[in-house]
Amino acid sequence: MFVKKRSALLVLLLLSSGAAFAQKKPVAKAPAKQPAAGVSAAVLAAGKAVYTQNCLSCHQADGGGVDGLNPPLSKTDYVLGDKPRLINVLVNGLRGVDIDGEPYHNAMPAQTHLTDQQMADVLTFVRNSFGNKASAVTVGEVKAVRAAGKK
C-alpha cells in the first residue's frame, strides 16, 4: 500500500502536472506565487503531496490549524525560525508546548514514517505556503537532525 502510494506519487511528480491534486476536495492551498530563492516548483509539488497526506487533517488545507487544538503553520516562530528545531518537530513530535503564546490541546505525532526527502520537501512547502516565505529545508539538514537522534 505504502509502496504503491509512493510510486504513484513519483509518477505524478514526473508528470509534474499537479492536476491530480486539483480535485473538488479541498487540498492544501497553492504555495506562494514567489517562493524563496532556490526553491523549485517540483519540490513544492512534492511537499504539497506529503502535506496533503500527512498534515492536512490537523493543520487544515489553509494551514490555519484548529482553534485550541492544532496550531496554525502561518508565520509561526517554529515554522520561520531555527531549522533544526523545526525538523525536530517532525522527528520527535511535539506536545504540551505553547505556540506563539497559545496552548494547543492535541498531540503532534512524530512523522518518522517519512523519508528524509519527504521531510525536507514538506517543510520547504510549509515555509513557502500559507503566507510564509523562507529558505528551503535540505535533505542534508534533515539527515543531520535525524542522525542526532531522538531527543
Partner 1 sequence: MNNQLSRPFLLAAALVGSLGLYSLTTRPAVVAPDADNAGLKLPAGFGALVVAETGARARHLAVTPQGTIYVKLNRPKDGKGILALKPGAGGKATVTGGFGSYGGTGIYAKGGYLYASSDEDVYRYQLDAKGEVTNPAQPEKIISGLLNRGEHESKSIVLDNAGNLYVNVGAYSNSCQEKDREKGSMGRPGCPILDSAGGIWQFRADKANQTYGTGTRFATGLRNVVGLDWNAQNNQLFVMQHGRDQLHDIFPALYDTKQSAELPAECLYALTKGANAGWPYLYYDPVKKQKILAPEYGGDGKKLADAKYLDPAVAYPAHTAPDGLLFYTGTMFPAKYRNGAFIAFHGSWNRAPEPQKGYYVVFQPFQNGKPSGPWEVFADNFAGSAEKVASGRADHKPCGLAQGPDGSLYVSDDKAGTIYRIVYNQK
Which phi and psi angles does 102 have, rounded to 5°? -115, 135
Is the CB of residue 36 less than 8 Å from the CB of residue 128?
A: yes
Comparing C-alpha atoms, which of 34, 63, 65, 37 is closest to residue 122?
Answer: 63
Span near ligand HEC by CB under 6 A; candidates 12-20, 28-36, 38-46, 72-80 = 72-80
128 touches 39 (CB < 8 A): yes
Build a one-symbol-per-residue string for 88-107: x at contacts with ligand HEC by CB under 6 A, - elsewhere. Answer: -xx---xxxx-x----x-xx
71 binds, among partner 1, ligand HEC, none (CB under 5 to 8 A by kind): ligand HEC
Q: How many residues bind ligand HEC (CB under 6 A)?
A: 28
Residues 120, 132: Cα–Cα separation, whole Å: 16
Residue 122 touches which member of ligand HEC, partner 1, none, C-beta under 5-8 Å by kind: ligand HEC
| 108 makes contact with ligand HEC (CB under 6 A) | yes
